[in-house]
Amino acid sequence: MKFPKTTKRYCPFCKKHTEQKISQVSSGHKRSALKRGSIERARKRGRGRGFGNLGKWGSKPAITKWKRKTKTTKKTNLLYTCQVCKKSRGQKKGKRTGKVQIEVKGESKGESKGGKYTINK
């Protein structure tokens, strides 16, 4: 989905409509799957404990490899920064899209800022 680089929105800090810059929020650092809480929880549930036959936890369920386990797209997470007071606000509700493109208005993929034609030397 394509978004313009700037847009006019209401800024609650300035209390008026201002020009706002759109940027994408980075996902940040992710922790590994088995961190403190999940290891303790697994122990309380009886997993990863003791010796011998694992019983209920020793076997896997029937094949479900044909079923999709995760979503194929993510929701947009945009940040709007006011050009007047420089304060930022996050997007209220994201749309589910495969790819987010933030581009200058009126500029297509093939064209550069200089114009449509290029000079070959």
Give the model confidence (pLDDT) of 70-112 as tens digits. 888 989 999 999 999 999 999 999 999 988 999 887 665 555 5
CATH number (domain holding residue 7): 3.10.450.80
Does residue 19 fall inside a structural domain? yes
- Does the pLDDT value for residue 116 go beyond 60? no
The mean predicted confidence, pLDDT, of the chain is: 80
Residue 2 Ramachandran class (φ > 0 left, ψ -120 to 50 alpha, else beta): beta
Instruction: Copy the structure tokens of residue 93.
Output: 């509700």
Rounded to 5°, angle at Cα 108 from 103 and 111: 115
Name the amino acid, one letter, at 90. Answer: G
In a domain, 48, yes or no: no
Q: Got the DSSP string for 96-109?
A: EES--EEE-TT--S
CA end-to-end distance (rounded Å), the chain:
36
Question: What is the pLDDT, as a whole number, of residue 68?
Answer: 73
Give whichever of 10-19, 50-59, 67-76 has the largest mean pLDDT: 10-19
Domain range for residue 16?
A: 1-29+73-104
pTM score over 0.85: no
How many structural domains compose the chain? Answer: 1
49 in a structural domain: no
